[in-house]
């Protein structure tokens, strides 16, 4: 069993293609790529943590096609391999994900990790935060609180070629980025 992470795929949301300049001509193409990338990596017994905004459901009466199509998240879930753990995102209120987890802490890859959709809720008492929400704004970011700081990795699909990623992939690219950052020595170390 492997663990994967992703965020903000926005299944069913046509306007996300425009907002994030995603390289798709329409929803069908975006769905095809998202599904292919997911199922090529994630096998039946694997787990994928979706860090918010899994799908965007439009109401039947809304005529604005850019707002999304009226499919609940179960429609997309049934097409994907593995087990899904949903972290609540800001667009998960009406899409059927029934996400009740706002954040969770795990120990994986030798790190204590906080997983939360919106980076404004990073936890300074962990080794690393996994987030999404910010789409194309950044892949890695350092947050400061006084002399303390903590880093966050944006696991959103817009940063990872529309593909779920493993903790090994996250930590490998994160460690390269971290070496380029000043102030590495002032972090209050958290016991692993």
Under 8 Å between Cβ of 114 and 123:
yes
Spatial separation of the C-alpha atoms in residues 161 and 99, rounded to whole Å = 25
| pLDDT score of 192 | 38
| pLDDT score of 49 | 98
| pLDDT score of 97 | 82
Contacts of 107 (CB under 8 A, 6+ apart): 113, 192
Question: What's the domain count of the chain?
Answer: 1
Spatial separation of the C-alpha atoms in residues 16 and 20, rounded to whole Å = 6
Contacts of 30 (CB under 8 A, 6+ apart): 17, 22, 24, 162
In a domain, 191, yes or no: no
Ranges of residues in the chain whose predicted pLDDT is under 50: 186, 188-192
- Residue 35 CA: distances (Å) to CA of 11, 69, 141, 176: 10, 17, 28, 29
| CA 94 to chain centroid | 18
In a domain, 10, yes or no: yes
Spatial separation of the C-alpha atoms in residues 146 and 124, rounded to whole Å = 11
| pLDDT score of 59 | 61
DSSP state of 133: S
Which class for 170: exposed (0-12), middle (13-18), buried (19 or more C-beta within 10 A)? buried
Residue 46 is encoded by which pair of tokens?
A: 């694997």
In a domain, 25, yes or no: yes
| pLDDT score of 93 | 76
Domain ranges, residue 15: 3-186
- Can you name the residues that pair with 143 across neighbouring β-strands? 150
What digits encode the pLDDT tens for the residues 47-75?
A: 999 999 999 876 666 556 656 677 888 99
Spatial separation of the C-alpha atoms in residues 104 and 54, rounded to whole Å = 17
H helix count then E strand count, the chain: 4, 9
In a domain, 35, yes or no: yes
Spatial separation of the C-alpha atoms in residues 25 and 4, rounded to whole Å = 27
- The CATH number assigned to the domain holding 92 equals 3.60.21.10
In a domain, 192, yes or no: no
In a domain, 76, yes or no: yes
């Amino acid at each position: 069993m492997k663990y994967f992470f992703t965020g903000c795929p926005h299944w069913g949301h046509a306007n996300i293609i425009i907002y994030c300049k995603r390289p798709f001509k329409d929803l069908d193409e975006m769905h095809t790529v998202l599904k292919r990338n997911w199922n090529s990596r994630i096998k039946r017994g694997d787990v994928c943590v979706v860090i918010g905004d899994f799908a965007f459901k439009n109401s039947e009466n809304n005529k604005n096609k850019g707002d999304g199509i009226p499919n609940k998240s179960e429609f997309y879930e049934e097409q994907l391999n593995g087990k899904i753990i949903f972290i609540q995102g800001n667009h998960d209120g009406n899409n059927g994900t029934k996400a009740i987890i706002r954040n969770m802490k795990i120990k994986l890859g030798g790190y204590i990790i906080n997983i939360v959709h919106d980076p404004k809720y990073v936890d300074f008492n962990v080794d690393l935060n996994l987030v999404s929400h910010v789409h194309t704004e950044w892949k890695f970011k350092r947050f400061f609180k006084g002399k303390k700081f903590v880093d966050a990795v944006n696991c959103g699909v817009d940063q990872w070629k529309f593909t779920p990623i493993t903790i090994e992939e996250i930590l490998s690219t994160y460690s390269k980025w971290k070496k380029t950052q000043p102030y590495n020595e002032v972090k209050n170390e958290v016991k692993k």
